[in-house]
Structure formats: C-alpha cells, structure tokens
Amino acid sequence: MVVLEGLHAVKHALRFGVVPRLVISDAPASVLALAAELAPDVQARLAALLEPVTTAEFAALAPEPPATRLIAVADRPVWPGSSTAAGPIVVLDRPRHPGNLGAVVRVAAAAGAAAVWTLGGVDPWSAAAIRGSAGLHMALPVEAPDELPPTGRPIIALADGGEPLGPGTLPGDAVLLFGSERDGLAPHLRRVASRIVTIPMRPGVSSLNLATAVAVVLYLQRLAGSGASGPADTGQPDPLST
C-alpha cells in the first residue's frame, strides 16, 4: 500500500480507477469545496470516501500535513503486460532524487508513455516520489526491475556523443534510457542500445535536469506523431497541475 498526500494525489488515484482504502481530513468541508472547484469529476466519489478526523489525529498521522488537508491510503495498482502497452517505455538508470523521479512519472503520464522503469535499487514508490508525481503513479506502470527486461522494442540511449535529437528521430515504441543526474548512463546500458541520441544544447550548458530531459524527448516524439496518445482527457480544469 502507499500513502497519497493532498488533493492532487487522491484526485489522480480516483481518476485512474484506484479506490483508496482510507481517505481522511481534519477539514472535510474545505477539501470538498476545493474538489468541487478544481476536480468536480471526482468530488462526489471523494465525498463518499472522506472520513473526518480531529486536527490532533491528522497531525499524528501526517508529521508534515499537506496544505490541502487530505491524506489517503491505497493499494498499488497491478499492471499486467506493461512492456506490451502502446507508447515508449522510460527507463531511469540509478536516479538519485525521488522528487525528480516523481516529476518524470508525472511527465510520462501526461505524454502517454507506456511505463516508467527504474534500475539500480531505487524505490520509485517512495513517499517523496509519489509527492513529486502528484499521485500520477496511479496512471501508468511504475516498476523497479532488477535489470533491463527484454521487450523486443528498439532500445535508444539518451546520452552524450550521439546523433542529434530532432522531430521524427525516435520510434513510438522505443525503450528510452536516461542516465542518473550525476553519473549519466551506465556503460553496459550504452552497449545494449541500438542507437545513442543527444539532446542539442547551447555550448557551455553541460546537462538538463532529468525530468526536463524526459519531457523534451517525450513531447518532441509526441508532436512528431510517433508517440501514443495519452489517457482520455477528463475535460475538467486543473489549475493546480501547473
């Protein structure tokens, strides 16, 4: 099970079919008013699940309470066949910062990626990573295999010294390898890649933030028409997502 902190995370769980086991708040009226404004598509379901607690109880359960005064506990979703789903698979090699990892999950969900995999023993389901994704771990498979699984897809490394990334550069079903923030991509992963692609940057700029690099690649691929379309748009305003 995982803890979902704040309206963002609970909203996304409900939108993507995850029903939390427990949803609590010490300010239920405020939470439901905010949900009615920002996420009306889930407001009724949230109201049916929400259990009021005292401020003291909420503080005991949440040493750093989320500003929206909402916490839930949910089961991790089980995703059969993530390697066969449409869209690219994002693979992060030894990511160091859970918040940055969560931001990658958020971008991957928005861009319609098939999955996010992390290598190197990092827990992609840590509380900090889930906060970073705003609960969008519930929108696509997020897994931590011991090693890169065989998929039959083309494997493309994003690293220095490759061909410049451009529109139409990448196939829509690729496994995309991204290195760690500090050390880059491990040599053995560079060797298994069929191609190495580099994001062009202004001279003197050595690197991009990991989540930014993933966003550049996924959206360039999507705009070029090679990526898969993402989940259906709810049609609801979501100002907090910015």
Residue 230 lies in a domain: no
97 and 70 share a domain? no
Task: Give me the number of domains the chain comprises.
Answer: 2
Let me know whether 103 and 60 are in one domain: no
Asked if residue 237 is part of any domain, the answer here is no
Question: Does residue 240 fall inside a structural domain?
Answer: no
Are residues 141 and 21 part of one domain? no
- Whether residue 42 is contained in a domain is answered as yes
Q: Are 147 and 167 in a shared domain?
A: yes
Q: Please indicate, yes or no, whether residues 20 and 64 belong to a single structural domain of this protein.
A: yes
The residue segments making up the domain with residue 48 are 2-74
Do 104 and 58 lie in one domain? The reply is no
Kindly state whether residues 97 and 212 are assigned to the same domain. Answer: yes
Tell me the CATH number at 160. 3.40.1280.10
Q: Does any domain span residue 241? A: no
205 and 98 fall within a common domain? yes
> Does residue 129 sit in the same domain as residue 42?
no
Task: Return the HEC string of the chain.
Answer: CEEEEHHHHHHHHHHCCCCCCEEEECCHHHHHHHHHHHCHHHHHHHHHHEEECCHHHHHHHCCCCCCCCCEEEECCCCCCCHHHCCCCEEEEECCCCHHHHHHHHHHHHHHCCCEEEEECCCCCCCHHHHHHHCCHHHHCCEECCCCCCCCCCCEEEEEEEEEECCCCCCCCCCEEEECECCCECCHHHHHHCCEEEECCCCCCCCCCCHHHHHHHHHHHHHHCCCCCCCCCCCCCCCHHHC
Asked whether residue 234 is domain-assigned, the answer is no
In this structure, the answer to whether residues 18 and 122 fall within a common structural domain is: no
Residues 70 and 94 in one domain: no
Task: Kindly give the confidence (pLDDT) of every residue in the chain, 242 residues in length, as a single tens digit, with 9 standing for 90 and above.
Answer: 999 999 999 999 999 999 999 999 999 999 999 999 999 999 999 999 999 999 999 998 877 889 999 999 999 998 876 677 889 999 999 998 999 999 999 999 999 999 999 999 789 999 899 999 999 999 999 999 999 999 999 999 999 889 999 888 899 999 999 998 778 899 999 999 999 999 998 988 878 899 999 999 999 988 876 444 443 344 443 333 32
| Any domain includes 242 | no
In a shared domain, residues 30 and 143:
no
Asked whether the whole model's pTM tops 0.85, one would answer yes
